[in-house]
Amino acid sequence: MMVSLYSAATGMWAQQYKLDTISNNLANVDTTGYKKVRAEFQDLVYQYYKNAGTPTAVNSTIPTGIYFGHGTRLSATTKIFSLGNMEYTGNALDVAITGDGFFQVQLQDGRTAYTRDGTFKVDSEGRVVTSNGLALIPNIVVPADAVAINISPDGIFSAEMQDGTVQNLGTITLVRFVNPSGLKAVGDNLYLETTASGEPIEGTPNQDGFGALQQGYLEKANVDVVKEMVDMITAQRAYELNARAIQTADNMLQTVSTLKR
């Protein structure tokens, strides 16, 4: 009976982890380029009283065995990199990736980080940077006398000058990973390469399986609010049921402890 107490407790912990994950998904429903997280669980070790196939006294074998489990545990949290909805902004420096790929930006310490957030700006030096001032890789500088900016689906970044000429400023490249779910999320819409993600594969937008760039649009979070709300209700009910199982086991132990009275 004590096993049921601990098994139900692991169920409560699991649902707490699930609720934490759901809450973070809902909190980021308006975060540009956010990818929802899914909590995954595994059952714990089983205790066997009789194994399936054990011989019996009637010259037969037990067909299923006798065993019981010891609860559940969190096994992984997985980023789901499905494409979010595209929102039109009309801002020339807003860029969405309509498919596979990440933008590359340079951190303050010189490392390269990766993002799906295409809300770019121009800093005081004319460099194309993120909202946090991180420079886009490759480095693109917009001239001070540029009157319009154009970004093609294949990443060509050009500017229309005051004299009517068009100047090519560079090409935005993208990278992708064999296992994007293995990337390390570090906040600020940024990811870092890990051993699990594999090395970045660089390529040109709209070619060789990379997504095309869409100027004037932003990719919204891929969070399905209705599904998250349903999952939240399910997690709450499962938490309550596990709490009730603990209460029931406690009542049974209390009954046993009063048998001699």
The total domain count for the chain is 2
**Same domain for 69 and 174?**
no
Is the pLDDT reported for residue 53 higher than 80? no
The better pLDDT of the pair 206, 2 is held by 206
DSSP-assigned states of every residue in the chain = -HHHHHHHHHHHHHHHHHHHHHHHHHHTTTSTT---EEEEEEE--EEEEE-TT-B-TTS-B-SS-EEEE--EEEEEEEE--PPPPEEE---TTBEEEESS-BEEEE-TTS-EEEES--B-EE-TTSBEE-TT-PEEES--B--TTEEEEEE-TT-EEEEEETTS-EEEEEE--EEE-S-GGGSEEEETTEEE--TTT---EEE-TTSTTPPEEEETEEEPP---HHHHHHHHHHHHHHHHHHHHHHHHHHHHHHHHHTTT-
**Same domain for 149 and 243?**
no
Q: What is the pLDDT of residues 166-176, one digit of tens each?
A: 999 999 999 99
Q: What is the pLDDT of residues 76-126, one digit of tens each?
A: 999 999 999 999 999 999 999 999 999 999 999 999 999 999 999 999 999
Q: What integer best gives the mean pLDDT of the chain? A: 92
What domain range is 253 assigned to?
2-81+223-257
What is the share, in percent, of the chain residues with pLDDT greater than 70? 97
- Tell me the two tokens of residue 258: 């009063």
**Same domain for 15 and 30?**
yes
**Same domain for 92 and 184?**
yes
pLDDT score recorded for residue 78: 94
Is the pLDDT reported for residue 1 higher than 60? no
Q: What is the pLDDT of residues 198-242, one digit of tens each?
A: 999 999 999 999 999 999 999 999 999 999 999 999 999 999 999
Low-confidence winner among 56-70, 186-200, 219-233, 234-248 (lowest mean pLDDT): 56-70
pLDDT score recorded for residue 5: 85
Mean pLDDT of the region 185-197: 95
As a whole number of Å, the end-to-end CA separation of the chain is 21
pLDDT score recorded for residue 184: 95
Is the pLDDT reported for residue 63 higher than 80? no
**Same domain for 74 and 157?**
no
**Same domain for 211 and 110?**
yes
**Same domain for 97 and 183?**
yes
**Same domain for 171 and 234?**
no
**Same domain for 65 and 157?**
no
**Same domain for 215 and 105?**
yes
**Same domain for 249 and 230?**
yes
**Same domain for 249 and 146?**
no
Residue count of the chain, please give it. 261
pLDDT score recorded for residue 160: 94
**What's the rounded Cα separation, in Å, for the pair 106 and 186?**
14
